[in-house]
Structures are given as structure tokens and as C-alpha cells.
């Protein structure tokens, strides 16, 4: 079907998280609080891993990159969602929709690979502790971080450009609170079988491939931990991985429910709830998980705030 010029879609209407007016202001306050906590928590992680000398290791270098990714990821989604909760008309331009979709794919794919790089770092630290500083040198860590960030470019460019090149003749209402691929694809007015096959292949590649690397790393890690003669050593080794394992479970669990679950088993409401978990909730939980379960991070936070207080008092 070819759209006439006067029927070409130039903007989309986002259905939003809920169509109940009495809930929207309450949700606005709730999500604003969550977003504030997310920004403060992740900025705190970035700050302490930069300024504290005890956290100048590969593990915290990757953690800093994860927090930066979470800040960027939520910046793409949450401000627009907050505005829509208090706006009578929840519109987004065609270009704005494509831009939001591009950065959503970009940061999501980058996070998949960054989590696998963090798993490899833990693998080297536990399975090759004597060679850790040699293997995980500054140059390798930098290239691993750059590679993780840039890994999102191919899938985001391909899927966004290809999807937005399809004809959209109306209706123009997206049954979601942001421009995700599947709900936008429903508005396309021509056969999308080839695109859906490509999108599935990309999803399997950019979700399952890094997840497979994580599984391999942790299989080796668990074998090494079980072979340790000391119970204290086993506990210490496991504690260095527990925070990352929780974050991986949250991220991949929700992503799999969204993109690898059969369409017949998905309702728009359930998809919104799952999407809400990895766009809003998980980025807030990540710094909390790493802060509460990591004594080094807690110590660095205390030292940073103590230093700031002493500087204000003129002691330092």
C-alpha cells in the first residue's frame, strides 16, 4: 500500500502507561521519585569510582560505564513519559519517534555486551588471579568498554532505519509509553515478514550471544569456586560476583519476557509492565544493589562524603 502525501503520518500519539486520568498524577509523582533516585544513585557510582583511589580497578571501571549507560538509557525514556503523564495530548513527531527508538536499541544492545565484559572481568579475577593485572590491563579495559558502547550502533541503525522507512498511513496511535519496535511495527501498512525475521535474528544475536558469554564465564567461575579449599575464600569469591549476577538476572529476565516471548502470550498491558521494569525500575536498582552488597563501594561513599564535609568545614 502506497500512502498519499496528505495521509502520510508525521507524528504518533502515544497511548501511555494508563488512560485513567485519576491515576496519571499519582504515577507522575511515583516515576519522578524513581527517576530522581536513579539519577542520584548512578551519578554517585560514577563519582565515587572516579575520585576514590581504592576503586581504580577494572571492576569499578566497568561499573562506572554501566552507570553511565543507565543514565543515558533512562534519559531517552523517562522524561518523555513524565511529560505525557501530565499532558492532555501525548504526541511525538515521526523524527522524534525514530530518534527515541534508535537510542533505545543503542543503549539496550550496548548494555548487553557491557554486562558480558563485566562477567569476563570476574572470570579473570577468580580463575586467573595471579595474572589478573596483566590480562585486564588499562588498554584492554578501554577497548572492551569502547567495543561494548559501539556494539549498539549496527543493530540500532539497521532496525530503526528499516522500520521507519516502511509506510505509515494511519492509525497513528502507539499502544505503548515509548516508541518501541513491536508496537510501532503494528502501524505499518505493508507486509513486514522480512523485517520481523531480521529483527528476531538481531534480537537473538544481541541478547543471546552476550548472554551465552556470561553463562560460559560463570560456569568456569562456579567450577573454580567449588574447588577452593577454604570456605572463606569461596564466600569472598562469590560475593564479588553476586551483585553482577543479580543485575544480569534482572536485565536479561525482563528483556527475554519482552522480546523472546511468543506474541500470542503478550497483552499490551503486560508488555508495558515488563517494559517499565527494565526502563525505569532496573536502572534504579542497579546502583542500590552494588552499593548495599559491596563494602568497597559503601566505604568509598562514606569517604567521599566525609571529605566533602571536612572541606566545607575548612579542615582539609
70: Cβ–Cβ under 8 A, 6 or more apart, which residues? 38, 42, 111, 283, 286, 287
**pLDDT computed for residue 313 by the predictor:** 53
The distance from CA 308 to its chain's CA centroid, rounded to whole angstroms, is 31
**pLDDT computed for residue 147 by the predictor:** 93
- Alpha-helical regions (H) of the chain: 21-51, 58-85, 94-127, 132-135, 138-150, 152-164, 181-185, 193-203, 209-226, 231-259, 268-276, 282-292, 295-313
Domains of the chain: 11-288 (1.20.1070.10)
How big is the chain, counted in residues? 316
CB 225: neighbour CB atoms within 10 A? Answer: 18
Query: 270-306 b/e with 16+ CB inside 10 Å = b?
Result: ebbebbbbbbbebbbbbbebbbeebebbeebbebbee
**pLDDT computed for residue 110 by the predictor:** 92
Dihedral sign, Cα of residue 69, residue 72, residue 76, residue 80: positive
User: Could you tell me if residue 116 is left (phi over 0), alpha (psi between -120 and 50 degrees) or otherwise beta?
Assistant: alpha
**pLDDT computed for residue 309 by the predictor:** 53
Query: 56-65 b/e with 16+ CB inside 10 Å = b?
Result: ebbbbbbbbb
Calculate ∠ Cα 69-90-196, nearest 5°. Answer: 60
**pLDDT computed for residue 100 by the predictor:** 93
The distance from CA 264 to its chain's CA centroid, rounded to whole angstroms, is 26
Q: Yes or no: say if 39 and 74 are a contact pair by the CB < 8 Å rule.
A: yes
Dihedral sign, Cα of residue 77, residue 78, residue 79, residue 82: positive
30: Cβ–Cβ under 8 A, 6 or more apart, which residues? none
- Alpha-helical regions (H) of 128-173: 132-135, 138-150, 152-164
**pLDDT computed for residue 107 by the predictor:** 92
CA–CA distance, 275 with 76 (Å, rounded to integer): 13
> How would you write the pLDDT of the chain (316 residues) with one tens digit per residue?
455 544 567 788 888 777 777 788 888 999 999 999 999 999 988 988 888 888 888 999 999 999 999 999 999 989 998 988 888 788 888 999 999 999 998 998 899 999 999 999 999 999 998 899 999 999 999 999 999 999 888 888 988 998 888 888 767 888 888 888 888 888 888 888 888 888 888 777 777 889 899 999 999 999 988 888 888 878 887 877 888 888 888 888 877 776 666 555 566 677 778 788 888 888 888 888 877 667 777 777 777 666 665 555 555 5
CA–CA distance, 269 with 123 (Å, rounded to integer): 39
Question: Residue for cell digits 495521509?
Answer: 7
91-93 and 173-174 as β-strands: parallel, antiparallel, unpaired? unpaired
CA–CA distance, 5 with 169 (Å, rounded to integer): 9
Amino acid at each position: 500500500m502506497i500512502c498519499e502525501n496528505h495521509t502520510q503520518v508525521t507524528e504518533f500519539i502515544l497511548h501511555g502507561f494508563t488512560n485513567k486520568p485519576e491515576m496519571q498524577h499519582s504515577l507522575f509523582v511515583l516515576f519522578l521519585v524513581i527517576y530522581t533516585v536513579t539519577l542520584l544513585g548512578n551519578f554517585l557510582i560514577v563519582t565515587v569510582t572516579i575520585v576514590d583511589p581504592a576503586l581504580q580497578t577494572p571492576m569499578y571501571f566497568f561499573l562506572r560505564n554501566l552507570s553511565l549507560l543507565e543514565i543515558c538509557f533512562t534519559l531517552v525514556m523517562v522524561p518523555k513519559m513524565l511529560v505525557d503523564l501530565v499532558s492532555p495530548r501525548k504526541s511525538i513527531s515521526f523524527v522524534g519517534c525514530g530518534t527515541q527508538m534508535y537510542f533505545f536499541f543503542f543503549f539496550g544492545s550496548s548494555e548487553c555486551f557491557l554486562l558480558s565484559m563485566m562477567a569476563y572481568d570476574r572470570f579473570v579475577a577468580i580463575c586467573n588471579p595471579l595474572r589478573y593485572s596483566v590480562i585486564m590491563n588499562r588498554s584492554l579495559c578501554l577497548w572492551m568498554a569502547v567495543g561494548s558502547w559501539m556494539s549498539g550502533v549496527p543493530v540500532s541503525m539497521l532496525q530503526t532505519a528499516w522500520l521507519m522507512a516502511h509506510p505509515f498511513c494511519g492509525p497513528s496511535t502507539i499502544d505503548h509509553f515509548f516508541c518501541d519496535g513491536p508496537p510501532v511495527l503494528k502501524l505499518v501498512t505493508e507486509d513486514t515478514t522480512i523485517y520481523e525475521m531480521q529483527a528476531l535474528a538481531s534480537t537473538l544475536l544481541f541478547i543471546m550471544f552476550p548472554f551465552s558469554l556470561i553463562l560460559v564465564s560463570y560456569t568456569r567461575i562456579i567450577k573454580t569456586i567449588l574447588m577452593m579449599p577454604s570456605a572463606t575464600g569461596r564466600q569472598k569469591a562469590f560475593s564479588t560476583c553476586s551483585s553482577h549476577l543479580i543485575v544480569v538476572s534482572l536485565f536479561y529476565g525482563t528483556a527475554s519476557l519482552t522480546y523472546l516471548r511468543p506474541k500470542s502470550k503478550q497483552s499490551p498491558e503486560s508488555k508495558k509492565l515488563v517494559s517499565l521494569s527494565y526502563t525505569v525500575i532496573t536502572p534504579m536498582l542497579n546502583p542500590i544493589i552494588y552499593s548495599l552488597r559491596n563494602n568497597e563501594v559503601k566505604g568509598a561513599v562514606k569517604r567521599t562524603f566525609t571529605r566533602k564535609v571536612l572541606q566545607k568545614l575548612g579542615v582539609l
